[in-house]
Chain A
Amino acid sequence: MEMVHTAPVLELQSVDKSFGPIDVLHGISLKVHAGEVLCLLGDNGAGKSTLIKTLAGVHQPTRGKILMDGAEVSFATPRDAAERGIATVHQFGGTFPLMSIGRSFFVGVEPTKGWGPFRIFDRKKANDIAVKAVRDFGITRIDDGDRLVGGLSGGERQSLAIARAVHFGARVLILDEPTAALGVKQAAHVLRIINEAKRRGLAVIFITHQVMHAMAVGDHFAVLIRGAIAADFRRGEKTREEITDLMAGGETMADLEASIDAQERRHA
């Protein structure tokens, strides 16, 4: 593969994170390339959200390095990470339910027309760009930028948030459980969007505990257990059952099965 020769867009090298005496992450090493989906799997409490916050600049690693394009970086604030093109999309889209699609898309960077003190919010331009950006991702049901974000389905809101991140130049997309609260059809929607982001050359980090969803789009998988990477493998190297087992308790589960098997054989 040609991407082997280019440096990963984002890479963690032996990152530890502790809060006072409590170690949350130990020795996390991960990399994600452009046009690749890295699935981060883990049960509740495995340290996923601390890892996301470390990637997004909310927390700083206690030890270890973060690299972008092969060069070491440090994010003092979420703004720093955002300016480097790291965008985090949260479970509910993280937007403003009572704002229109066009207005919420451009929050903080409103397009204007006119000059000086008479600069006014360019509603038409905002609506047109927002609707086009989200339609380009295949969400063709959105055709009116004046609609309220809160009136969209969960999948559409996720898609809008992803389209927004991509429009504003995101290179790494961190998706925090985007499909967790969605039905089957809506989840499929979001998975299609993830594929589209990947096709456009973004590096996607997809956090989930739904193995099916991960397997549908993932190129590379990492299983997080109690703050450490318990397994790291590529597409096709493990079956769904193996991954589920890993998530449920890692190697210990397999050991347990083996010992049960052995016991059954003895009694057979």
Chain B
Amino acid sequence: MSQDISRGAAGGSLGRLARRPESGAFLGLVVVYIIFAVLGGKVFLGAPGWSSWLNMAAEVGIIALPVGLLMIAGELDISVGSVLPASSLTVAILSGHYDLPLWIGVAGGLGVGLAVGLVNGLLVTRTTIPSLIITIGTMFAVMGLTLGLTILIAGSTGVFVVPDALTKSVFGAAFGGMFQIGILWWAGFVLIVLALLHVSPWGNWVFAIGGDRDSARNAGIPVARVTIQLYMMSGFAAAFVGVTQVVTFGSAQVAAGSSFIFNSIMCVVIGGVSLTGGAGSVIGILFGTMTFCIVNQGIFYSGLDPNVGSIIIGALLLLAVLSNDKFRAIALSYAAKKK
């Protein structure tokens, strides 16, 4: 057959770009930044503006990374919202109430996150209940346990802890009085997750599980093990943010953390991760987190009514989902129509 129409790699730059799941997220980031740069003026463009949205982005971003991996694998994790205060309070109770060394408190807090992740992972892989429902269940269970145990042990819903200088500098330092050290931790997490998802063979398994669970299993991928690992990562990440919060503020509150549930999911979706799983990228999640936080903090600098901010975030989310679908369609049809 003489059907060999050979095409050079040059033919595909548009398709190549559209195929990258972060393209839409990057466009959104640029547009949103320009809008708020105009509205927010010099203060928003300067260090105070950058520090305010970067500090927020660091916290939600650390959680959004593993939540994004879970969504790529076709699962959700709602429980991060209660793991965060559970971890903070574990640190505060162990090291504040019981006066144990702070490293024991930190280890305990992170351990709580890993344990909740393990329970989530086991429940998701051993039952046929959707992970949305399972993690809503574990969220309420952890919330109830945290509240009950805190009142039982400490007799109050807020517990104080005085971090030592070393721990404070590792988890709670601030540069120039504005930029929190969490930003560096976030950068570190981004690099690790980037390597895991896009460079290691394990990342391919995450995409395969989200693409078609049965085919992935038939191809020999340990689907249950990977799923449990992913839940333990998100539990760990939420607990890590809980640790940085308690070290930074010197106290832990039972009620903290619920805003992270939707915020992390929104960062991930704005970042171009497919709602049905199987597609997404770490750079996309990074852009999505930045976009979300620029809007969130930019409202404050722009002098707009804060309620307008909610409307903008809602609209942004819808736009993101629409443009994600559009970009995906371009990525697929580009290849199909080049006959």
Interface residues in chain A, defined as those with a beta carbon under 8 Å from any beta carbon in chain B: 78-79, 82, 94-99, 103-104, 106-110, 112, 119-121, 138, 140-141, 143-144, 146-148, 150-153, 192
Q: What 16 new A-B contacts, CB under 8 Å, besides A96-B208, A152-B335?
A: A94-B215, A97-B332, A98-B328, A99-B211, A104-B208, A107-B208, A120-B195, A120-B200, A121-B200, A121-B203, A140-B5, A140-B6, A146-B16, A147-B19, A151-B336, A192-B1
- Which of B212, B216, B219, B333 has the most CB atoms of chain A within a 10 A radius of its CB? B219
Residue of B nearest to A117 (CB): B200
Given A96-B212, A141-B3: A119 touches B201 (CB 8 Å cut-off): yes
- Which of B9, B201, B205, B274 has the most CB atoms of chain A within a 10 A radius of its CB? B201
Given A78-B218, A96-B208: A144 touches B201 (CB 8 Å cut-off): no
**Inter-chain contact B216/A107, CB cutoff 8 Å:** yes
**Inter-chain contact B16/A94, CB cutoff 8 Å:** no
List the A side residues contacting B12 at CB < 8 Å: 144
Interface residues in chain B, defined as those with a beta carbon under 8 Å from any beta carbon in chain A: 1, 3-7, 9, 12, 16, 19, 195, 199-201, 203-205, 207-208, 211-212, 215-216, 218-221, 274, 278-279, 328, 331-336, 339
**Inter-chain contact A99/B200, CB cutoff 8 Å:** no
Number of A-B contacts (CB under 8 A): 94
Closest beta carbon of chain A to B222's beta carbon, Å: 9
Closest beta carbon of chain B to A125's beta carbon, Å: 12
Q: How far is the CA of A148 from the CA of B334 in the complex (A)?
A: 10
Given A79-B220, A110-B201, A112-B201: A148 touches B332 (CB 8 Å cut-off): yes
List the B side residues contacting A192 at CB < 8 Å: 1
Q: How far is the CA of A146 from the CA of B9 in the complex (A)?
A: 10
Decide if the interface of chain B is mainly helix, strand, loop or mixed.
helix
Q: How far is the CA of A98 from the CA of B73 in the complex (A)?
A: 12
List the B side residues contacting A153 at CB < 8 Å: 336
Residue of B nearest to A83 (CB): B220
List the A side residues contacting B195 at CB < 8 Å: 120
**Inter-chain contact A96/B201, CB cutoff 8 Å:** no
Q: How far is the CA of A240 from the CA of B166 in the complex (A)?
A: 84
For A107, give its contact among B3, B215, B331 (CB under 8 Å). Answer: B215
List the B side residues contacting A148 at CB < 8 Å: 19, 331-332, 335
**Inter-chain contact B220/A96, CB cutoff 8 Å:** no
Q: How far is the CA of A137 from the CA of B220 in the complex (A)?
A: 25
Q: How far is the CA of A147 from the CA of B16 in the complex (A)?
A: 8
Given A98-B279, A108-B205: A151 touches B335 (CB 8 Å cut-off): yes
Closest beta carbon of chain A to B227's beta carbon, Å: 15
List the A side residues contacting B279 at CB < 8 Å: 98
Q: How far is the CA of A109 from the CA of B336 in the complex (A)?
A: 27
**Inter-chain contact B205/A138, CB cutoff 8 Å:** no
List the B side residues contacting A119 at CB < 8 Å: 200-201
**Inter-chain contact B331/A140, CB cutoff 8 Å:** no
**Inter-chain contact B208/A147, CB cutoff 8 Å:** no
